Structure 1
Amino acid sequence: MHELAITQGVVDAVTERTGSAPVAVVRVRVGRLAGVVPDAMRFCFELVTAGTPLEGAELEIEQPEGRARCRSCGRNFALPDPVLLCRCGSADVEVLAGRELGVASVVMAEPAG
């Protein structure tokens, strides 16, 4: 399950920036063509945040749709899945969006007291 390594990377990147400050929400962008299963990432997030400043934080996952441009006919079109095929029949397409994978933002927890 590569989601475990990806999620650990997200947690490491956030804690590198936030240090020991508690985090309430981590928002990530995971394109629909990135090959990452959001539910698996949520499960892994709970595991890898245990004992860290992110423990108990909410993971919000935004899933931008795939977009492509056909090099043969010039059409821009949505890619709901990894099948890179234009309606004209050409597989010569350029993926424009949908492979994103990264931290979009972090919401810090309110200080206790």
Structure 2
Amino acid sequence: MHFHGIRRRGDWFITSQLLYRSPMTSALRHGAYVPYLKRLLEWESFAAANAPARAVAKRGAGLRGLLFRAQRGLIDALSIVSGNALRASALQASESTQASETDGIPR
């Protein structure tokens, strides 16, 4: 299962639910997003421990890039306020992530 439109902004996973005018229901949050994002965090941790870090360049330049980032920031803030985002630290606190004891790869 893969969800397009999820972005990581600091400690938040921002969904695209707001853009589609489809608010996140409790069933969607707990039945789909929470399990998916917990696994994503496990793999993120695995990758951080086993792969070299790379810098990611900002998207866009000049006025157009500034406007794009401002628009994205506003949408992200609205998503957080409207409950269409999940906090990564809350996902990690609700259930500790574990790696396989045999090879260290999250299962």
Fold equivalence (TM over 0.5)? no
Name the TM-score class by shorter chain.
under 0.3
The structure with the greater share of residues assigned to helix is 2
The higher radius of gyration belongs to 1
